Amino acid sequence: MATNSLALSLDKPSSSSTIEEDGEPKRNEKYYIPSGDVVFRVEKELFRVHRHFFVRESPLFRDMLSLPSPSDKAVEGTSDKTPIYLPQVTSSGFEHFLWVFYNPKYADYDAPLDTWTAILQLAHRWQFAEVHAFVFRALEKLSNPISLVTRVRLAVAYDAPPDWHARVLAELGARPEPLTPAEGLELGLETTIVVAALRERIRDGNREMRGGRHGRRDRSRSRSYSPPPIVLAPQPEPYMLPVVPPMEYAPHAPHSPYTEDVRLIFTFELL
């Protein structure tokens, strides 16, 4: 069977890709919905679902499902004979992905990490922006919290929202324990280098803060230190006017050498 042209527009496999057939595909027990209006083939199973979700959520599927078909061929995806083949996808992974739209419990989206990872892979690949953001919100609510390293790995691999990505990176960088070899392998070389550089920046900032506090403590201790006395050079004695002994004023006294001086002093005091 020749490669489906719509499948090529989704994953762009090589031109030699073919759908390997080992007998007729069977209908998926959970997601072959009679009222569905598009048929997908994943591995050896057929899924009949509603194109509404794919057209609404994904510009990739929106463009793909609007492609005209040749007049001499049946429209792809309209029957079991002409399904749209989705390469590089597992049947279980596609089931997990469809569960987001067909969950019978509505607001109860409780699933293990493996399920959310499978959904995230397809949402990222097929540009389902709302599903992509929904998965990262759901990861924060898991009953069994995932490790910081796994959160960083998912953030890097699947383009997490910027605030989510920055937060988990900062938390891992501020963690007291360094990365273990196993964690480095999980993160990959490039992300490990980024985390190591971030840890150094955080540690440098902490050292500067501690240094500032120590500096203030040292200055407080210096108050008990007594510097050596400062010895000043001897200064000359200030010039003092001679003290004149008090004299009684006697205007009719005989003239003496002090008379004029006393008169001047008396006149000065009156002024």
* Rounded mean pLDDT, 13-35: 72
**Which value, in Å, is the radius of gyration of the alpha carbons in the chain?**
46
How much is the pLDDT for 8? 43
- Mean pLDDT is lowest, of 97-111, 169-183, 204-218, for 204-218
pLDDT of residue 115: 97
**What's the pLDDT at 75?**
83
User: Is it the case that residue 260 has pLDDT exceeding 60?
Assistant: no
Q: What pLDDT does residue 225 have?
A: 47
Could you tell me the pLDDT band of residue 18, with boundaries at 50, 70 and 90?
A: very low
Backbone dihedral angles phi then psi of residue 216, each to the nearest 5 degrees: -65, -35
Cβ burial 174-197 (10 Å sphere, 16+ → b, else e) = eeeeebeeebbebbeeebbebbee
pLDDT, position 101? 96
Strand order in the sheet with 45-49: 26-32, 45-49, 38-42, 84-85
Around Cβ 76, how many Cβ atoms within 10 Å? 20
Helix (H) / strand (E) containing 84: strand 84-85
Strand pairing partners for 42? 45
Query: 128 φ, ψ to 5°?
Result: -90, 90
Q: What is the mean pLDDT of residues 217-235?
A: 52
- Over range 53-69, report the average pLDDT: 90
Q: Look up residue 60 and give its DSSP letter.
A: H
Question: Is 169's pLDDT higher than 60?
Answer: yes
